[in-house]
Structure 1
Amino acid sequence: MTETAYALVAQVRRRELKTRIALAAFIGATAWFVAPSVWPLVWFVAVCASQAVDWLVFRRFLQRPGVEPSRTMIAVACAVTAGCVVIYSGIAGYLWFRGGEVGRVFALIQIAGGLLHVSLHMHRARPVLISAVATHGTYFLGLPVVSAISGGRWHELLITIGCLLYMSHLGVAVRQSTSTTEQLQSARDAAQEARRRAEVASDAKSDFLAVISHEIRTPMNAVISAANLLRRTRLDEAQREHVAMLTDAGDVLMGLLNDVLDFSKIEAGKMELESAAMNVRDRLTALCRLWEPRADAAGVRLTMDIDASVPAFVRTDPLRFQQILFNLMSNAVKFTSTGEIRVRAGWDGAHLSVAVVDTGCGIPAERLPHMFNSFEQADAGTTRRYGGTGLGLSISRKLAEIMGGTLSVESREGEGSTFTLSLPVEVAAEDAAASRPSGEDTGALEGRAILAADDHEVNRRILALLLEPHGCRLTLVANGAEAVEAARLERFDAVLMDMQMPVMDGLEAARRLRREGLNAATPIIALTANALDTHKAAWDAVGVHAFLTKPIDPELLASTLAGACRPEAETPESAVA
């Protein structure tokens, strides 16, 4: 709600009330010292009474700050303002005629101060300002005139001229101050409007990314899952090559989508980090094992060297640590055609450093400063030759900085490059770092009853093809309402739940399952194309056992289900994100 000018003036008058009373006490004491009598005390009592009336009148503006006051109310406010000034500046008349030369000087200073005060604090409400300035001005100009006429000292009219000059300068100053205030207010309003539009645009972008992520992941789930299923069948060499191309292309597309989503989250300041114990050697070994076949295929040797001083376990965000090194090793394999790639890990007592050294094509010196810019690569032909968005290194450096570390590069064109990640980490105890094994005994799924809710027929078919070979008894439903109904009739070992479904979405269905019935304690696994952090947080609030995104990773799905079906996992308290 926008406050009126009178409400703003009322706020200032209320805030300055104690100051005005304290200043009146000082002025009254000074007047008594300069010209002792009972009148300064009488004046102070009158000031207090007038300020009380002023407070009562202007309080009305604060009670309805957004409503323009009536003409009657404005007239009352002007009358009260003029009356208060008459009383407040009345002491100047006493000092002018009873205080001698010192009293005259003090009287003029007191009125000049009053003029300055009301001009600065009341300029928003012009009628009230005029009432106050006119009354102060009557004293300011009138006292020298009355004195000159009554005493015949016509040279004192020069004081009036000086007072006129002061008032004219004050008017110019107030006008400039008002103009500056209005410009600042206008600029602030424009900035707030721009911020509001930016927030709307940011929200729209987030909504768009959420929608486009879901819409891309849903068909990609069918494509990649079908390719993985096809790969399990008996194929000839040409067919295996075709399936490999299909899965590789799917991986590239998902990598691009994830890069765009991560970049958006980082730019919006919404990237959230986790803190968990991580086995350094196991994590680096897994990464090298992942990239070793591609390096071998290119005729490049991939080696790992971990210094003896590196702790066995450290506390960091394992997922983001892996993501950074995955990008660095991906680039090393992509740009190295001969020689070797070496992953070196070191420790300085507080920082874990991992360097990825390659003997690839290197980076021109003039391009090095731009290597971590978004959407940039070493040269214009890089994207055409090697692919990619140019986001990987930008995301990696920003992730490193968010984690409190650094990512740097050294390179010589034609000789190779060294990318070094340095992160501040805490040493973690080995027992605290013990985690569940990455692979579960999927034989535990034999005979298990699994309820799966997904509104896409293709997705339900894919789930059946992926899980039935493990011996699961699958119950497939098309929405949350059907899942709730099925859960009322049978006890399941685990529930797979999509998020966006007609009739009833997955979150509401999960909440209903948790409240009552045979499956109140059954582990629920979110399996959805809604992959943003906000979606994960929504599932965390429901209390799911795990959060999996599409496209489906067959091994991860099977191992997660096996873990959920273990007896110790069958309580809501054991749920993990």
Structure 2
Amino acid sequence: MRTPLAAMRLTAELIAKEPLSDTQRTRLEILVRAIDNLTGMTSSLVYAGASGGPPQAEPAGVHNLLEDTANLFRLAANANGLVLTTNFDPTLEGSVTLYPGHLTRTVATLLDNAIKYTGNGMVHLSACCRIRDPASSGGIVLEVTVTDTGPGLKEADIDSVFKPYVRGTAARHAAGGGAGLGLWGASELLKEVGGTMEVSSPEQGGCQFVISFPVTAGEAAHAAAFAEMPAKPTFDGPLNGHFLVVDDNGTNRRLLAALLESFGASLQEAGNGREALDAAANNSFDAILLDLHMPGMSGIDVARHLNETANGSRPAVIAVTAAHESADPETLRETGIDTVIAKPISPAALYGTLSEALCRARQARS
């Protein structure tokens, strides 16, 4: 999944470099946050599958997490004639240690349901931290509440709403309703990290879901997955270098080429390992950007061949991969790969890496 997500993120970065109206830029920021959130969820699933262990807590800014999640649903709320409002306690401006993927996926499920089943009125997302029983471990609970003005739940539905394949009365009568797994899945996610979810529905209608999520106070953090999208990366000047872009995926290859061209660089493209070796044998490159996972001759095979046949100096070899967690550092060093850039690619990080490669190439030639 991360390969198409990386292509989407890079396309958004390229669009961000063009003149945009305020409305277009706002919508693009929503798109980028959606991509980043989905990338974060995907990464957490990949990590969990690879490690086989429990999920890992990490520091994050709760206010930004929740606001970004709410922003993903504002257009859907507006399209349904609803008002989506938020209210977060000022103490959430700082950072806490928690399970950000579990939190955002659970809140997203609740907001999606609320918007889907509320015919008119509003959906409200609020959050605060409270101190629980000092005897409990951790001591601090993040409490997130999603309230809507929809039809509400019947008492019989409340008793079974967190069971799999169970849909409330409103859901059963709604067009395009789900399979009844959303709330069950969200509650299971919370149980995995010691959280809980409760629901209430007053007689006059509407629903209120309350999530209790254990957190630990932490230092200020700036998690990259939830950072503000820069309008443009900061560059010191054009990259006056010549590069080879190697990727069997044509879309990813063209997107990376477009990004390099926006840096002022010149380049050639190769669609497989054999083409890459032919290009390297007949041209002089300052660096080679190499996808590791290609059919036939892999990126590792290409790098090893380049390293073994190098006559004196050789161009820097930069691995570009979505599966950076599985890349063994020792293997990379042995094959002559100088550095790894993870997908989705950060334009600023790529610019910095290529700038360093250019400096080394010029020093080697002098």
**TM-score calculated relative to the size of structure 2:** 0.65
Give the percent of matched residue pairs that are identical in Structure 1 and Structure 2. Answer: 26
- Letter matched to residue 491 of structure 1: D
Q: Give, in whole Å, the separation in 1 of the partners of 2:355 and 2:184.
A: 39
| Match status 1:397 vs 2:187 | yes
Cα 1:465–1:546 shift into 2, 3 Å: closer
Q: Is the 8 A contact 2:247 2:291 kept in 1?
A: yes
Tell me which residue corresponds to 1:294: 76
| Match status 1:476 vs 2:239 | no
1:526 to 321, 338, 344: 321
Q: Is the 8 A contact 2:147 2:208 kept in 1?
A: yes
Q: How does 1:343-362 map to 2 (within 5 A)?
A: 343-349=125-131, 350-362=140-152
Q: Give, in whole Å, the separation in 2 of the partners of 1:315 and 1:454.
A: 38
Tell me which residue corresponds to 1:539: 327
1:453 to 246, 260, 284: 246
After TM superposition, the structure 1 stretch with the greater mean CA deviation from structure 2, 275-284 or 455-464, is 455-464
- Letter matched to residue 352 of structure 2: R
- Letter matched to residue 321 of structure 2: A
Q: How big is the shift at 1:354?
A: 1.1
Q: Is the 8 A contact 1:279 1:312 kept in 2?
A: yes
Tell me which residue corresponds to 2:100: 318
- Letter matched to residue 141 of structure 2: H
Cα 1:412–1:471 shift into 2, 3 Å: farther
Q: Give, in whole Å, the separation in 1 of the partners of 2:204 and 2:304.
A: 59
Unaligned runs of 5+ in 2: 19-26, 132-139, 333-338, 358-366
SS in 2 for 1:346: strand
1:490 to 278, 285, 300: 285
Tell me which residue corresponds to 1:428: 218
| Match status 1:285 vs 2:64 | no
Tell me which residue corresponds to 2:298: 505
Q: Is the 8 A contact 2:123 2:147 kept in 1?
A: yes
Q: How big is the shift at 1:417?
A: 1.8
Unaligned runs of 5+ in 1: 1-212, 234-243, 528-534, 549-555, 572-577
Q: How big is the shift at 1:306?
A: 1.6
Tell me which residue corresponds to 1:410: 200
Q: How big is the shift at 1:426?
A: 0.9
Q: How big is the shift at 1:222?
A: 9.0
1:442 to 219, 233, 254: 233
After TM superposition, the structure 1 stretch with the greater mean CA deviation from structure 2, 469-478 or 342-351, is 469-478
Cα 1:468–1:277 shift into 2, 3 Å: same
Q: How big is the shift at 1:270?
A: 4.2
SS in 1 for 2:73: helix
Question: Greater relative contact order: 1 or 2 (C-alpha under 8 angstroms, separation 6 or more)?
Answer: 2
Q: Give, in whole Å, the separation in 1 of the partners of 2:167 and 2:109.
A: 13
Which of the two has higher C-alpha Rg?
1
- Letter matched to residue 73 of structure 2: W
After TM superposition, the structure 1 stretch with the greater mean CA deviation from structure 2, 466-475 or 273-282, is 466-475
Q: How big is the shift at 1:547?
A: 3.9
1:334 to 108, 113, 116: 116
Cα 1:380–1:355 shift into 2, 3 Å: closer
Q: Give, in whole Å, the separation in 1 of the partners of 2:143 and 2:158.
A: 20
Q: How many residues align?
A: 315
- Letter matched to residue 298 of structure 2: D
Q: How does 1:229-308 map to 2 (within 5 A)?
A: 270=52, 273-308=55-90
Choose between structure 1 and 2: higher helix proportion: 1
Q: Is the 8 A contact 2:117 2:170 kept in 1?
A: no
Cα 1:225–1:309 shift into 2, 3 Å: closer
SS in 2 for 1:442: coil
Q: Give, in whole Å, the separation in 2 of the partners of 1:411 and 1:547.
A: 46
Q: Is the 8 A contact 1:497 1:524 kept in 2?
A: yes
Q: How big is the shift at 1:356?
A: 1.3
Cα 1:362–1:380 shift into 2, 3 Å: closer
Q: How big is the shift at 1:302?
A: 1.6
SS in 2 for 1:386: coil
SS in 1 for 2:190: helix
Q: Is the 8 A contact 1:361 1:413 kept in 2?
A: no
Tell me which residue corresponds to 2:349: 563
Q: Is the 8 A contact 2:117 2:171 kept in 1?
A: no
Q: Give, in whole Å, the separation in 1 of the partners of 2:93 and 2:254.
A: 46
Q: Give, in whole Å, the separation in 1 of the partners of 2:100 and 2:214.
A: 13
Q: How big is the shift at 1:525?
A: 3.1
Q: Give, in whole Å, the separation in 1 of the partners of 2:61 and 2:256.
A: 33
Q: How big is the shift at 1:338?
A: 1.6
Q: Is the 8 A contact 2:244 2:285 kept in 1?
A: no
Q: Give, in whole Å, the separation in 1 of the partners of 2:244 and 2:307.
A: 15
Q: How big is the shift at 1:480?
A: 4.1
Query: 1:385-409 CA distances to partner (integer Å, 9 max, x unpaired)?
Result: 1354544333322222222212332
Cα 1:561–1:387 shift into 2, 3 Å: farther
Pairwise CA RMSD of aligned residues? 4.9
SS in 2 for 1:363: coil
Tell me which residue corresponds to 2:362: none
Tell me which residue corresponds to 1:378: 168
Q: Is the 8 A contact 1:523 1:569 kept in 2?
A: no
Cα 1:360–1:457 shift into 2, 3 Å: same
- Letter matched to residue 564 of structure 1: L
Q: Give, in whole Å, the separation in 2 of the partners of 1:427 and 1:525.
A: 35
